[in-house]
Structure 1
Amino acid sequence: MAMKKLLKVKGSPPWIPNLPLPSPPQDTSVSPTHYARFLDFLKAHWAPPLSPDTLLHFLKSKLHHHPSFSRFDFHLFTWATTLDSFRHTHSTFHWMAHTLAATHRHPELRTLLTLIAANPCPCSPSIFSCPQTQPIFRTAIHAFARSSKLHDAVSAFHTMRKLIDGKPNVAVCNILLHAFVKNAKLDCALHFYRDMVDKYRVKPDVFTFNILISGYCRNSQFASALEIFNEMGKLGCYPNVVTFNTLIRGMFREGNVDDAIGMAREMVELGKGFEPDCMTYRILVMGYMGEGGREEGELLVNEMLDRGFLPDLASYNELMSGLTNCRRSTNRKVKSFDR
């Protein structure tokens, strides 16, 4: 039944059908009284007619800011879907996906993706899909990945692939790749990377390679990390400061001080476009403090300063403190040897 007809009904029956509510927030319950107040709120603040624009305006400007009723947003959203006279657009889908992701309502987010798959945006009535489908799913995939819900993230990715025209965006693929690495699933990351390149025909970018290098370094597979590093240029993708920082940190972690210094020196020699950042300085500090490489540290720091690579004050102080500690440690070892 259309919204306008429902609005004409007088008396106690609410003009919003009493559909089953979505799962309430944890440790709370939705009482009939509370829901009745929600319906009264709708009748008092809704401005007909019902359209994607008016629904979105109500959700954003009225319901979203209400301390008690904001959680009914998805209930109202799904209710609108049941009306023959209403059809969601990518604007309503995108806002709802962002809201559910931001509030960590993952069950509702899964339901929304199913809803999108079954009710495509009206801007794509022909053979071409809505261009906003991939950004909407990217929001959901990122939310699942951030919460380590890998099964949901992968499922959303495959649903998205069926709905879009052409290849998945490399940024969406990188979200999944990073989630696998972060959750210590390097084998899954490598399998997905092979599918990404061979099956989905997605061209990897520097972020893709940085994620893989990080995964290899976390698993102490430095030969593989360096192999990826050396292959980047051949594939038309060049490293950035994050690439170098990841390798340097991994080398220090494994006690490969000479290799770490060599990598830092290589970054310095590349010059413009590869300037060490504050993270580079901090990695060097921690590395030298752990390994006692005072002389090499001083030489490299001086070389960086001579080339105009200036750390911020906090990083510089930390660097000097680290090198000073190295010097004191060396002096203690010498005195102990003399005795």
Structure 2
Amino acid sequence: MAGPQTAEQMRKMALKKLTKVTKLPATNCTAPPPPPQPLPIPDFSSTLTPTTQTQLNHLTHIVKSHLKPCFTPQDLVSFLKSHIHHHPKLSHLDFHLFRYAASLDTFRHDHYTFEWMVRSLATSHRLDSLNLLIQFSASNPCPCSDGIFSCPKTEPIFRFALNAYCRVGRFDDALFAFDAMKRLIDGKPNVALYNMMIHGFVKFRQYDKALEFYEWMARDRVKPDVITFNTLISGYCRNLQFGLALEMFKEMKSKGCVPNVVSFNTLIKGFFREGKIEEGIAMAHEMIELGCELSSVTCEILVDGLCRGRRVMEACNLLISFSRKGVLPNDFDYFELIEKLCEERNVGRAMEVVDELWRKGNAPSSIACTILVEGLRCIGRIDEANKFVEKMLKEGIVPDSVTFNCLLGDMCDKGKAVEANKLRLLAASKGLDPDGMTYRILISGYSKEGRKEGEVLVEEMLDRGLIPGIATYNKLMHGFCKRKT
């Protein structure tokens, strides 16, 4: 049996050949690389550190106590789950046990043990050991493969390993595992596995390799899906190659792949980044014509792009148009647009937008409502703010206590303490718990107007434990006593 050094050399040779295959013309790409050499199983008692040796001795004792001599793969997995997986000192030795089992003449690993071991190594980031496992499984396939067909679990097992490699950018290992999997399964790999590789390349900004793998996918006669194209389009946009992203979008449609909301969102955002606002809006309309529903993200991209381009009014008209067509998502929060209008002191238009969208079923969020109330207060339109808060409360939108108290203060300053208290009662019935500041504002307002109804609020405040002491109570009542004299 070959030594560890020979196996590593053979693995590197296989990787070199695999890399060459991905770069050859289509006529030569179908030639499979040579199969990997069998992985030598090292002795369980190899030279180890004293600590590890002690742990292995402990593991050996547990194995002898709980695992019968002629154990099966299911027995081994059960033992790993119940005795090793959560053990604080032995969990990292599961691969030693796997290799030990492989060295027994009476034992043969199957998809149960392969799947468990791949998941354990991948989730614990022991990728060097995962490489050894992939080599071993490639040359020692599951017993299910002894018949006509391959083991149906092979592809899911390798998928977990590929995901682990791509997540950290170990693409040489991923390519080796991908090729080994292709030789073990029946037929062509699932498109999701190609997508996983392409996404990994794009994530680490290796766009040329992503496109190269996409071409390899075509040579393998695997039909790309919408995820394939979305990943490549996103990669081109991230690499500031928007022209190529549009070409890929055209290729996507020419190959009969229907774009989804992610495809359109990526391109709309790319148009706005390129300063092509009209094209971005046209893309949104094309999206609607094709029957693809707008998402809240789509609307966020459009509103943000138009606001950044100082085209706030156009953003208002676009949202109203979407709302009238019934395509505006109900969960879209248009607070950013309301905030922009209020910043420009165009509160009237903000009110019109909210009323229009609300009437069509697109209720504003509590944040959008708070922004609008503050905008109305800032320009002195207190009565409108009061009516708007009443509408909010009746629709079940409860304002925050700070905004609510500020509005009550403004109303009391204008001699409308009675109306302010009515608003307080309405808010309390909808779940807004008035605090001490709420009562002080109203009591002060009643006192300035010379209304004795404020005394009732003082007593209510006392009953609720909002008056810290007799001095505060006397101070609050003092204003009413002065009015009486």
TM-score, normalising length: structure 1: 0.82
Compare CA radii of gyration and give the structure with the larger one.
Answer: 2
Contact 2:118/2:157 (<8 A) preserved: yes
Whether 1:210 aligns to 2:210 is: no
SS at match of 2:145: coil
Q: Which residue of 2 aligns with 1:112?
A: 133
Q: Structure 2 counterpart of 1:240, which letter?
A: N
Q: Which residue of 2 aligns with 1:183?
A: 204
SS at match of 1:62: helix
Q: Structure 2 counterpart of 1:112, which letter?
A: L
CA apart distance, 1:261: 1.6
Give the 3 Å change call, closer, same or farther, for CA 35–322 of structure 1 in structure 2: farther
Contact 2:294/2:327 (<8 A) preserved: no
Give the 3 Å change call, closer, same or farther, for CA 91–146 of structure 1 in structure 2: same
Please provide the CA RMSD for this pair. Answer: 2.4
Distance in 2, Cα, partners of 1:223 & 1:316: 31
Which stretch shows the higher mean deviation, 318-327 or 56-65? Answer: 318-327
Deviations 1:116-145 (A, max 9, x none): 011111011135322221111111111100
Distance in 2, Cα, partners of 1:155 & 1:144: 11
Which stretch shows the higher mean deviation, 54-63 or 128-137? Answer: 128-137
Q: Which residue of 1 aligns with 2:400?
A: none
Q: Where does 1:1-339 land on structure 2 (aligned, <5 Å)?
A: 18-20=44-46, 30-47=51-68, 49-197=70-218, 199-271=219-291, 274-306=292-324, 307-312=326-331, 315-321=333-339
Give the 3 Å change call, closer, same or farther, for CA 21–106 of structure 1 in structure 2: farther
TM-score, normalising length: structure 2: 0.58
Distance in 2, Cα, partners of 1:242 & 1:323: 29
Q: Structure 1 counterpart of 2:231, which letter?
A: I
SS at match of 2:334: helix
Deviations 1:203-242 (A, max 9, x none): 0101111111112212222222222222323312100001
Contact 2:70/2:106 (<8 A) preserved: no
Higher relative contact order (CA 8 A, sep 6+): 1
Q: For structure 2, which runs of at least 5 residues remain unmatched after alignment?
A: 1-42, 347-485
Contact 2:316/2:337 (<8 A) preserved: no
Which stretch shows the higher mean deviation, 284-293 or 238-247? Answer: 284-293
SS at match of 1:123: helix
Contact 2:73/2:109 (<8 A) preserved: yes
Distance in 1, Cα, partners of 2:252 & 2:300: 25
Distance in 2, Cα, partners of 1:288 & 1:49: 71
Q: Percent identity?
A: 48
Distance in 2, Cα, partners of 1:178 & 1:109: 21
Contact 2:150/2:184 (<8 A) preserved: yes
Q: Which residue of 2 aligns with 1:8?
A: none
Distance in 1, Cα, partners of 2:279 & 2:133: 49
SS at match of 1:128: coil
Distance in 1, Cα, partners of 2:52 & 2:247: 60
CA apart distance, 1:325: 5.3
Q: Structure 2 counterpart of 1:86, which letter?
A: F
CA apart distance, 1:319: 4.8
Deviations 1:249-308 (A, max 9, x none): 22222222222222122223333xx21223223323432343223122222222333314
Which stretch shows the higher mean deviation, 292-301 or 135-144? Answer: 292-301
SS at match of 2:234: helix
SS at match of 2:221: coil
Distance in 2, Cα, partners of 1:76 & 1:324: 67
Give the 3 Å change call, closer, same or farther, for CA 113–154 of structure 1 in structure 2: same
CA apart distance, 1:75: 1.0
Q: For structure 1, which runs of at least 5 residues remain unmatched after alignment?
A: 1-16, 329-339
